[in-house]
Each structure stands twice: as structure tokens, then as C-alpha cells.
Amino acid sequence: MSLLIRASQITPLATKIAASSYRLPVAWTQRANSAATFATTVQKRGVPLLFTPGPLTTTARVKEAMLVDLGSRDTRFMNVLANIRSGLLALGGVSQEEGYECVIVQGAGSHGIEAVLGTSVPRKGGKLLILSNGAYGMRQAQICEYLGIEYNLIDFTDRKPVDVTALEQALAEDSSFTHVGMVHHETTAGVINDVKSVGQFLASEYPKVELVVDAMSSMGAYELPLKDWNVSYAVSSANKCIEGVPGFCFALCKRSSLLAAEGNARSFCMDLYAQWKGLETTGQFRFTPPTHVILAFNEALKEWEEEGGVEGRFGRYKQNYDIICAGMEEMGFQYYVESQWRGVIITTFMQPAHVPGWDFDRFYRFLGDRGLVIYPGKLASGLSFRLGTIGRISPDDCRDLIDAIRDALRDMDISTPIPPPLTSSS
């Protein structure tokens, strides 16, 4: 089931979601109380392990790359930048010779989404249709609100993928859409959306409508061939499945789309076309780049290739996911998303709030004291938490996490398997 939401309705809806977002656990403000335990654990393991969707645990090799100081106009740095741009295009199954470009933008992943939407959708006659099944699809709508971009949003449940049938109906009823926006892996609940079906449908029935994909937490672990899937823009971030550190995002784009977007930008700094022209003509950023972050990412990209690219990276993440799911099922934790819709990036579990003794802050703190960092839930309704399986973590690390979760339950005097709630949500 989906709900078509007009632009005029989005502000109260966004406010409602923001109001229901998770609160920071008390554990985050109580770290000093358990500093000794934490320090001992980290000393034993070496680093904390982040079971999160990003930022992630990174290798010493990636961290060490940031110890080098290079000027932003240094030839060595410009060569690294050129290497990264070509490497990322190859990751998307395309090249400059085939008419595609990689544009690197300073900032978080959301900066990249804003740069693409704010530049690609024409000021006059442009209209975006957003397929949303979570907070990151909703974020595209919020960006449109700020930038004054005309849009409609189809709001799906966050427990299932977006429905191509609803897209077909919306486009049949309104021929004014110039762009469609969606998320490949919706990190809110951990659902994988079918970008291929959406892109190929547009290519067949609406070839002039451009597809914008938020591939933040999928690119590098899931296939996303831009040309084959008819993707005009795919946006991702340094600190996700390539396992770099935060500081920049990037957009893989059709060159024809970029050329057509000249003059559309609603922002000087977030002008994707101008950023691309600067990189192409000078080999440099228009403004100060995060040099150390880019050097780290260059090493991360080499590690990604050495692990076997998408296939190798997905394979390790799938192992991590299988181990965590098996352990959590054995302890009686309930999933929020059915198995056929889940990705292997992050998994949402419902808090067993019906069980006497359960205390999420205590649970979170217990794991954190042992150098194991998880994420609270991000659902609009229901108490949950999320376990990420990406970053430089291994199957053995995931087994350690499962053992620590068992210990945490014992610490709260909770027996396993945890009984399901009397009435489970549908």
C-alpha cells in the first residue's frame, strides 16, 4: 500500500517524523562512568567496532593515509583525485568514454543529494516524483521544500520496497514529471529497493524522465550499473561501503544530464554542474577540498578492489549478516522487516520492551563499554535498534557481538529465547 502526498502536505508530515525520531540514549552521556571498562576493552581489541551504517570501522591503512599533508593544487593530490574519479565510474559500470562523469562534492551524503536535486531539476518546468519508504526518501522531499523544487511524494511503508505499480499509475496520471527520485538501500529499516525495475520501466515508457538514486549505503556492496539500469544520477558517500572516512560525497552522472543542468542550480556552493566543470578544466575543487579524507578514500578504494570489488565486499557483508541474524533469532529477537525485503547492510530488530528488565540504555551502554557500538532505531513508530554489518568488521567480530548481546541480556536477568509479544504487529 502506498500514499501519494502532495507537496503542500509534506511539511506537517516531516514535522511528525522528526518529532518521533529516536532520542539519544542516556548511555551516550554516561560514557565517563564506564571509561575504565571501555579503555580496557579498546586496548585489548585495538579499536572500537562500529556496527552502524556509517561512519564505519576502518583499517589502519586507511587511517595512516591521512597522516600525509598535501596541498590541494599539488600534482600528486590531483593525480589521486583523477584516479578516484575514474575508479568510481568503473564501480558504476561506466566510463567517461561512454558519456558518464564522477563529481566529488565536499560534505556528507545529504550534501550530494541536495547538489543533485538542486542542480538537475529545471527551475522552470521541472518536477520531481519521489518514491519514499523511509527517512531518506523523505529527506529528498525536505530538500525540495527548502529549495523550492516542485515535487510529489509517494509514501510507502518502511517495511517493504517501493512499488513500481504505484510509479506507473502516478506517471500515467501526471505527465509533468521530469525526474524520479528513490533510495537504493533505505537505511531507516534496512530495505533494498528495486532500482533496476524502476530505471528500465522509465527507459521503456518515459525515456525523457531522469532517475536520481540515493545509493549512499549500497554502492560498493550492491551492483548498480548506471547504463544498464538507466540511472541518470547515483549519489554515495566516502564513509559507507567503500569504507573510507566522512568528508565528501560523489555523484555518478550522465554527461548529457549534467550539460542540460547548466544554470539550474539553486545554490552557489552546491552547484553540481559548476563543480564538475571545475574538476574537468583544472583538475581541482572550486573550494578547499578535504585532502586527508580523499587520500584515505584512495586507499579504501584500493582495499575494495583487493577484496574483489562488489562481489567480495558483498560476500563478507553477507557472512556478517548471516551470523548476526542466526544469533539474534536464537535469542528470540524479532525482525521489523521480512527476510525477502532485507538488505545485508543493516538490520532492524524490535526492542523486547514487553519483557521485564529490558532497558535499552543499559543494553547500549553494556555493549559500548566493550567497544561494540550499535545504532538506536530510526522508525517513525515502535521501539527498535539496528545492527550494521558493514565497515571493516569480520565474521568473528560479529560472533563477538552476539556473545556480548547474550551477556547483556544475562546482565539484565533476561532469559533466552525471549518470548514474543502477545500480539505481534503486521
Dist CA 276 CA 284 (whole Å) = 10
Sign (positive/negative) of CA torsion 27, 29, 35, 39? positive
Contact 166, 156 (CB under 8 A): yes
Dist CA 376 CA 381 (whole Å) = 13
- Chain centroid to Cα 416, Å, comes to 32
Residues 6+ apart with CB under 8 A from 409: 331, 415, 416, 418
**Quick one: which of 192, 139, 198, 196 has its CA closest to 168?**
198
386 known ligand binder: yes
Angle CA(181)–CA(146)–CA(156) in degrees, nearest 5? 35
Dist CA 376 CA 22 (whole Å) = 7
Known binding residues are 386
Known binding residues for substrate are 386
